[in-house]
Amino acid sequence: MGVKGDTGAWLRDTMAALVLCGTPPEKYHPYIDRKIPGPAGEPTFDEETSNFVYSLADNFEALKYFCHDPQRV
């Protein structure tokens, strides 16, 4: 996507990603806000996760989502 850093996200886009990709348990992919690698080579926020984590996330997909807008905003 060509975006670096934590630029935020719309809730609807987040839910769509949870339906499409799922989310892994945090012990396999914790939230990291580090911008430079740690002393032991810990990953940074912008580094891509491993294929293992993506395949694990596939087991934790949201089933569906909908837009609740009673006032039609």
Name the domain count of the chain.
Answer: 1
- Give the pLDDT confidence score for residue 56 in this predicted structure: 92
Give 10-residue mean pLDDT values along the chain (73 residues).
Answer: 73 88 91 83 84 92 82 75
* Euclidean distance between CA atoms 50 and 23, whole angstroms: 13
* Euclidean distance between CA atoms 65 and 22, whole angstroms: 13
- Please measure the distance between the N-terminal and C-terminal CA atoms of the chain and give it in whole angstroms: 28
Structure tokens at 2: 């060509």
* Long-range pairs for 44-49: beta carbons < 8 A, 24 or more residues apart: 45/5, 45/6, 46/4, 46/5
Instruction: Give the residue numbers spanning the domain of 63.
Output: 1-73
